[in-house]
Chain A
Amino acid sequence: QQQVKQSPQSLIVQKGGIPIINCAYENTAFDYFPWYQQFPGKGPALLIAIRPDVSEKKEGRFTISFNKSAKQFSLHIMDSQPGDSATYFCAAGRGSTLGRLYFGRGTQLTVWP
């Protein structure tokens, strides 16, 4: 059973657009929610992460919005660039072992120039 559900599966935007990727979870024990970026042939790389004690976190052009009551979180990419074209994964973790993660199925983002 998929512990973290991610949508959409794929997303195409124009340069400068704001793609939004959504994730939902069921297990209320999760207390760590990272987003990973993966380019073809490479391993995933941590992009940004949030804890449930805040509703939003921003790092550069990337923002996570977190809704604890709805058990949902999303990634927004401001002023998207062709170099942002990649696959994005949301994930969830709990407790003190933050590398033991449950990943969503991924969203393939394409940013047209």
Chain B
Amino acid sequence: GAGVSQTPSNKVTEKGKYVELRCDPISGHTALYWYRQSLGQGPEFLIYFQGTGAADDSGLPNDRFFAVRPEGSVSTLKIQRTERGDSAVYLCASSPGTWSDTIYFGEGSWLTVV
């Protein structure tokens, strides 16, 4: 596709369950970012990848959150033992490289933990 694709668009899960959120960046983009947006707030940085490696994971809130990008394209954000406070929209963005000032966001995955 032409833009950043995120799946699922909506996910409802029970507290304590494991969740995976997928991001398919724009073809050829080497930099990939994950952000979390709570209701009424601005996006909050979680992690970014340059190629396959996580260059900065300082925004991950705790060790229940993990992200991978094994082939330098698709990325998966993994959340273990979900808590109600994890409910938010998880946004993925990509750019041609970390030097690029234009990052392209997907529409997000809306996660609700009940």
Q: Which residues of A contact B (CB under 8 A)?
A: 4, 6, 32, 34, 41-46, 49, 89, 91, 96-106
Q: Which residues of B contact A (CB under 8 A)?
A: 4, 31, 33, 40-45, 48, 55-56, 91, 93, 95, 98-108
A sample of 30 cross-chain residue pairs with beta-carbon separation below 8 angstroms, ordered by A number, consists of: A32-B101, A34-B101, A41-B107, A43-B4, A43-B91, A43-B93, A43-B107, A44-B43, A44-B91, A45-B104, A45-B105, A46-B102, A49-B101, A96-B98, A96-B99, A97-B56, A97-B98, A98-B100, A99-B33, A99-B48, A99-B100, A100-B56, A102-B45, A103-B42, A103-B43, A104-B42, A105-B40, A105-B42, A106-B41, A106-B42
Quick one: closest A residue to B95, CB to CB? A99
CA distance A106 to B39 in the complex (A): 11
